[in-house]
Amino acid sequence: MVLAGRLGKTFPDPYQCSDFLRALAPSFHNGTHRGIKVDRCSGLPGMKHLVDVWADRQTAPGFIVEIEARRRCGRRPEPAIEAKVEYYRRLCGVPLKPLTRVEVALRRQDPGRRSAFFEVVFDRFDPAEQIFVRHTLMLEQSEWERGRIIERAGDYSRQTSDLREKLEMYTGDDSEIAFLLMGKLPGVRVEEVTRARIGPLWSPAAPAPKGWAEGRYVLHLPTDRASIHLQEDRDDDPFGGIYRRFLSEGSRSIVEEEARRLGYRVHKDRKFVCEASAAAELRKRLEEAGTRNLIYTL
């Protein structure tokens, strides 16, 4: 379902996500993992299981070497150890990356403004929502400012611990909130923040709300973007909403004024991957919600 979603670069890497999930399948791990607890809200395996896969991947090479050394000494492993070795060999063939990672790329420099423009990609498995998330930020950083969150030497850029700390603090919710908070950092001008998620997954283990293809498999692929390049707000997410519209009148006016000052607007969207038998019911509910959404079927 992840690979069927036709995910662009603003989404978490679909191959990485599916590889982590595939490693939890009994057909892959040979019974090494006793079972999986599915988060009832996200429908995905809890973070602990994915961390276990990453830990196994780090342990695997050394474990295999040790068992092979024992085998050469005539010590035949027990069946459970043999199964674990086979699992570890499969895992070594999967190019997994850390669940949480930050990548920074220099887009361009402006000598006249004494500033540099960066793309920052922040991937993680969100511990609150228990789903895969990618935040992509387009930033301009003043070269005059001390304590910069991105260090630069020529054409090379390097993240700082301060950048990672701010990303972890400010990207816990939607893109508009991250835009507002990152925009308050000294010497930083935000152009765009995009949040894209893989999940939740409706299934018999984590059922859909009443009337929404209950008992069937439906994977959600939501995105939200706050950008100075958008002309108007647009909300095509039947399960979300634009942050400002949920605030009290007094708070909303303050945030609306800040949005005008910063010059950004927000787009929200959500596409779906589902079983063919769930498509008609899902389409009907989306029409009733008045949103325009893509649906891919298996």
| Paired strand residues for 117 | 108, 140
Closest to 192 measured CA to CA, from 127, 139, 238, 116: 139
Per the document, the length of the chain is 298
Task: Write out the chain's pLDDT in tens, 298 residues.
Answer: 999 999 999 999 999 999 999 999 999 998 888 888 999 999 999 999 999 999 999 999 999 999 999 888 888 888 889 999 999 999 999 999 999 999 999 888 888 888 889 999 999 999 999 999 999 999 998 876 666 788 876 666 777 888 899 999 999 889 999 999 998 888 899 999 999 999 999 999 899 998 898 889 999 999 999 999 999 999 999 998 888 877 888 888 888 888 888 899 999 999 999 999 999 999 999 999 999 999 999 9
Distance, CA of 190 to CA of 266 (rounded, Å): 14
User: What pLDDT is recorded for position 153?
Assistant: 65
